[in-house]
Amino acid sequence: MPTPLPVLAFGGDYNPEQWPREVQEEDRRAMGEAGVDLVTLGVFSWAFLQPEPDRWDFGWLDEQMDDLHAAGIRVDLATATASPPPWLTQRHPEILPVTQDGRTLWPGARQGYCPSSPVFREHALTLCRTMGERYADHPALALWHVSNELGCHNARCYCDVSAAAFRDWLRRRYDDDVDRLNHAWGTAFWSQRYGDFEQVLPPRVAPAWANPTQQLDFMRFSSDQLLDNFVAERDVLRAVSPGVPVTTNFMVMRNTVAMDYLRWGRELDVVSNDHYLLAEDPHSHHELAFSADLTRGTAGGRPWLLMEHSTSAVNWQPRNIAKRPGEMARSSLAHVARGADAVLFFQWRASRAGAEKFHSGLMPHAGTDTRLWREVCELSGILDAIEEVAGSAPRNQAAILFDWEAWWSCELDSHPSIDVRYRDRAEDFHRALTVLGVGVDVVHPSADLSSYDLVVVPTLYLVTDEGAAAVAAAAERGATVVVTYFSGIVDPHDHVRLGGYPGAFRDLLGVRSTEFLPLRSGETVRVEGLADAGLDADTWSEDLELAGATAVATYADGPARGLPAVTRREVGSGAAWYVATRLSPEGTDRLVEQLVAESGVERLPGAGPDVEVTRRVGDNASWLFVINHGDSDATVPVRGTDLVGGQDVDGDLVVPAGRVAVVREA
């Protein structure tokens, strides 16, 4: 019978096949010292497990499983299908992925396969089934880890096999009726009309801009194909290893766009995520906070597992900035604060060879007599001290709507301005709310919005009629709703909603825009009405007319001089605001202060630009997380017990610069 995962599991990817036996023995001793209780095994082991088509070698993995079990360490066992071995691509070069301009990618790195390849699928499922049958009853097994970061390097393949799969997908989407496809894709334009599905191709590099709906459908298709790979392995595992939860690690972070994780989440027994800070961003804790809240969104609000992050530097950015003292623990606990019930890293021991040899690990090249190792052990101790938070989750009154389809379509070519980036407004509103101590859920527009008093709709370029209606219903019912520019512009076929912008939200907002007035690169406009001295905005303005709303702020200059830049309309028992420009961070702050006050959402005291204060709520208790990223002490009023410091507090809790507190509230 499967036994549950360790509580607030701590550990990481373990690749013992890279090391001799003596090192593996030392690994288990050091894992004990660091309190590691879960490792991810086998992620890139296919070439070891199946060295030849008809030869299997499980001896080494059997030993690892047994030895780890004897050491009291549980295993998140990978199905090992992430990277095909050289013999497979040598025999079947047709499984290699092909880029948009028709280049076949060579083997020699990782994830070199076409997600639509039936040959790859067959070999992967054989391996998956063999693994599943062999280890289903092993006492070390805690979790199945399908593939690894599906789509990390091969998200969209343009080969002929993928083209045929795309056509099948389109036949299903358009009920085998090519005229429905013609309508959806707007092929009356540029002589693109198709007479038959057989004429349709992926959006390969063409002389000019490819049909936007063809591109959008190909993005949908590509995400679905990857998800299909997951589902196929999951179903094999469920059959041969019933009761053991199945996950695959997401990559919810700033630049991961290709997978629609809000749809994927429903297919996983437990969501897990990999998150890496972008070193060039000096305020990366804001991006982390947004991504962690979005990850919880993919998990339907339930706790999730932080499958990978780094103890310090990574290897794959142009400049791989090391974490400074205390930073690893702050990052880890920031994820826990937002619902992570495990803190795992890539990887246990920094590699000696290979592309990732300069990637940090729990065990650095320099060994255990290091600051990093001491911080690893300290973090593990903190997790032990706060174990009781496991299973609880944030409960928030504010939501930000997020949709991968809106992201894909918003950033297609041939748009009014390349400076409109989908995650930009979502992250900035999230930052402004977080700074005020407001907890935020990041959810799909189809989520139940009935418990939210504040709903932020950033750059929701593509929206369904139902999505737009749900936003309007939230305002009617009493919520404060705020919509930002380039929202509600198109329907799910990427067809413009006519009659003036922002089409789907025009009536709700009581405004009508007759023309977009995007700004030049580097150009700013002055906006008056949100702050005494006025504020800068950039990127965007509009020819906006009031049609029931009142102007809250106005452009003082620029192409929309004298026109409303921010508007508000009373709706039912709530209100609907529109923001027709890209406010500076200070402008977003001023606006969000008003939205928070109007909506009455709870603010946790003590939060600020460098101090995160969030709450997880359980059945009988609640916990405040205070994460001080700043250079000076933070003071937060609390009543309860700080589990990290081990002290009761009734009044001001002082959290020193760079440190963390987790308070069970009295």
> What does the binding site for ligand GAL look like in residue numbers (CB under 6 A)?
148-149, 152, 274, 276, 308, 314, 346, 356, 359
Which of these segments, 40-48, 109-117, 130-138, 147-155, binds Zn ion (CB under 5 A)? 109-117
From residue 374, alpha-carbon distances to 24, 157, 352, 418, 646 in Å are 20, 44, 21, 46, 20
Which of these segments, 2-10, 152-160, 191-199, 397-405, binds Zn ion (CB under 5 A)? 152-160
Give the span between the Cα atoms of 362 and 130, in whole angstroms.
31
Give the span between the Cα atoms of 201 and 159, in whole angstroms.
10
Query: Least Å distance between CB 228 and Zn ion?
Result: 13
Which of these segments, 56-64, 85-93, 111-119, 393-401, binds Zn ion (CB under 5 A)? 111-119
Binding of Zn ion at residue 152 (CB under 5 A)? no
Question: Sign (positive/negative) of CA torsion 498, 503, 504, 510?
Answer: negative
Which one of Zn ion, ligand GAL, none is in contact with 428 (Cβ closer than 5 to 8 A by kind)?
none
- Judged by beta carbon, residue 111 or residue 484, the one nearer ligand GAL is 111
Which one of ligand GAL, Zn ion, none is in contact with 274 (Cβ closer than 5 to 8 A by kind)?
ligand GAL
Query: Least Å distance between CB 330 and ligand GAL?
Result: 19
Binding of Zn ion at residue 480 (CB under 5 A)? no
How do beta strands 542-546 and 611-617 pair? unpaired
Which one of ligand GAL, Zn ion, none is in contact with 314 (Cβ closer than 5 to 8 A by kind)?
ligand GAL
* DSSP structure class, residue 17: G
Binding of Zn ion at residue 459 (CB under 5 A)? no
Which one of ligand GAL, Zn ion, none is in contact with 276 (Cβ closer than 5 to 8 A by kind)?
ligand GAL
Residue positions annotated with a catalytic role: 149, 308
Which one of ligand GAL, Zn ion, none is in contact with 152 (Cβ closer than 5 to 8 A by kind)?
ligand GAL
Across 304-449, the runs of DSSP E, i.e. the strands, are 304-308, 340-345, 398-401, 440-443
Give the span between the Cα atoms of 149 and 618, in whole angstroms.
30
- Judged by beta carbon, residue 344 or residue 549, the one nearer ligand GAL is 344
Query: Least Å distance between CB 371 and ligand GAL?
Result: 21
Which of these segments, 75-83, 106-114, 299-307, 387-395, binds Zn ion (CB under 5 A)? 106-114
Helix (H, G, I), strand (E, B), or coil: what is residue 234?
A: helix
Query: Least Å distance between CB 463 and ligand GAL?
Result: 32
Give the span between the Cα atoms of 210 and 215, in whole angstroms.
7
With residues binned 3-state (H G I as helix, E B as strand, rest as coil), the percentages for the chain, rounded to 5, are: 35, 20, 45
Which of these segments, 127-135, 158-166, 199-207, 621-629, binds Zn ion (CB under 5 A)? 158-166
Give the span between the Cα atoms of 372 and 369, in whole angstroms.
9
Query: Least Å distance between CB 96 and ligand GAL?
Result: 20
Which one of ligand GAL, Zn ion, none is in contact with 157 (Cβ closer than 5 to 8 A by kind)?
Zn ion
Give the span between the Cα atoms of 465 and 462, in whole angstroms.
10
Tell me how far apart the terminal alpha carbons of the chain are, to the nearest angstrom: 38
The verdict on whether omega for the bond into residue 585 sits within 30 degrees of 0, i.e. cis, is no
Query: Least Å distance between CB 355 and ligand GAL?
Result: 8
Cα Dmax for the chain: 75
Which of 24, 162, 272, 581 forms a contact with Zn ion (CB under 5 A)? 162
- Judged by beta carbon, residue 76 or residue 642, the one nearer ligand GAL is 76
Give the span between the Cα atoms of 625 and 439, in whole angstroms.
12
- Judged by beta carbon, residue 225 or residue 311, the one nearer Zn ion is 225
Which one of Zn ion, ligand GAL, none is in contact with 308 (Cβ closer than 5 to 8 A by kind)?
ligand GAL
Phi first, then psi: what are they for 258, rounded to 5°?
Answer: -80, -20
Phi first, then psi: what are they for 527, rounded to 5°?
Answer: -120, 130
- Judged by beta carbon, residue 78 or residue 490, the one nearer ligand GAL is 78
The b-or-e profile of 346-357 (16+ CB within 10 A means b, else e) is: bbbbbbeeeebe
From residue 405, alpha-carbon distances to 149, 221, 298, 604 in Å are 20, 11, 14, 33
Binding of Zn ion at residue 96 (CB under 5 A)? no
Which of 36, 159, 294, 511 forms a contact with Zn ion (CB under 5 A)? 159
Query: Least Å distance between CB 325 and ligand GAL?
Result: 21
- Judged by beta carbon, residue 143 or residue 152, the one nearer ligand GAL is 152
Helix (H, G, I), strand (E, B), or coil: what is residue 297?
A: helix
Which one of ligand GAL, Zn ion, none is in contact with 425 (Cβ closer than 5 to 8 A by kind)?
none
Query: Least Å distance between CB 181 and Zn ion?
Result: 21
Which of 157, 262, 292, 440 forms a contact with Zn ion (CB under 5 A)? 157
- Judged by beta carbon, residue 274 or residue 589, the one nearer ligand GAL is 274
Query: Least Å distance between CB 315 and ligand GAL?
Result: 7
- Judged by beta carbon, residue 314 or residue 329, the one nearer ligand GAL is 314
Phi first, then psi: what are they for 121, rounded to 5°?
Answer: -60, -45
Give the span between the Cα atoms of 501 and 512, in whole angstroms.
6
Give the torsion through C-alpha atoms of 166, 167, 169, 174, to 10 deg. 140
Which one of Zn ion, ligand GAL, none is in contact with 403 (Cβ closer than 5 to 8 A by kind)?
none
Query: What's the chain's length in residues?
Result: 666
Give the tokens for residue 321.
Answer: 């900035």
Residues that bind Zn ion in the complex, under the rule CB under 5 A: 114, 157, 159, 161-162
